Amino acid sequence: MHKIFTSALVLMLTLACLSAEAVVFGWLKKKELQLSPEVEGVILLEGQALTGIRITRDITYGDEVFSDHILTGKDGRFSLPTKVIRVRDSMFDTNVRQEIYAEHEGKLYKLWRARALNSVDYKSFNQLLSGMICELTSPEMLFDLEREPTQPGVYLIATSICSFIDESPITNKEPA
C-alpha cells in the first residue's frame, strides 16, 4: 500500500511540474498575430480612376511600426498583402493601430484609420478592407462597427474617406 501511495504521489508531482512548466514556458512561445488582412481598393478623383498613386499602410503594434506601400495600377486599383507577425503572449494590453493613406499631388489623404487593443483581426475590419472605394473628394467619416460575438465588451470604430463594397458591418456613420 505504501508503495502505491508513493508511486501515486510521485506521478502527481511530476504532472504538476509539467503543468507549471507548460504555463511558464507557454509565455515564451510565439504565436502568429494578424495585424492587417489583405487590403483591396480603388482610388478615384471625381469618379475617375487615378494611376500611379502611392498607397502607404502603417501598422503600429506597441512600439513597433510596420510600413509598406504600393502604387495604384492604371485602373486605380491597389492591393496590399496580409500582414502577420509573431508575438509572445503578454499579461498587458498592447495598442494596435492601422493607417492607410494615399499621396496625390503632394497631399496626403487618410483612407483608413482604426485602433484597438491587442489585435485588429476583427471580422468587420477584414470585411471593410477587402473592398475599399476611395473617392479623394469625400469627407472623412466615423464608423461604429459590429462587435465581435466572442468579445462583446470591445467597441470597434474606424475613420475613413472611403465607401466599401460591403458596408454591412457598419452600425453607425457620421462625419468625423
The chain-wide mean pLDDT, for the chain, equals 85
Q: 20 in a domain, yes or no?
A: no
Q: 78 in a domain, yes or no?
A: yes
- Asked whether the predicted pLDDT for residue 5 surpasses 80, the reply is no
Neighbours of 108 (CB within 10 A): 11
Q: 12 in a domain, yes or no?
A: no
Task: Give DSSP secondary structure letters for 31-94.
Answer: EEEEEE--EEEEEEETTEE-SS-EEEEEEEETTEEEEEEEE--TTSEEEE--EEEEEE--SS--
The residue segments making up the domain with residue 92 are: 30-175
Q: 98 in a domain, yes or no?
A: yes
Q: 10 in a domain, yes or no?
A: no
Distance CA 159, CA 114 (A): 7
Instruction: Give mean pLDDT, residues 36-52.
Output: 97
pLDDT digits (tens, 9 = 90+) for 70-113: 999 999 999 999 998 887 776 777 888 999 999 999 999 999 99
pLDDT at 69: 96
Q: 15 in a domain, yes or no?
A: no
Instruction: Give mean pLDDT, residues 51-59.
Output: 97
Query: What DSSP character marks residue 148?
Result: P
Q: 113 in a domain, yes or no?
A: yes
How many distinct structural domains can be found in the chain? 1
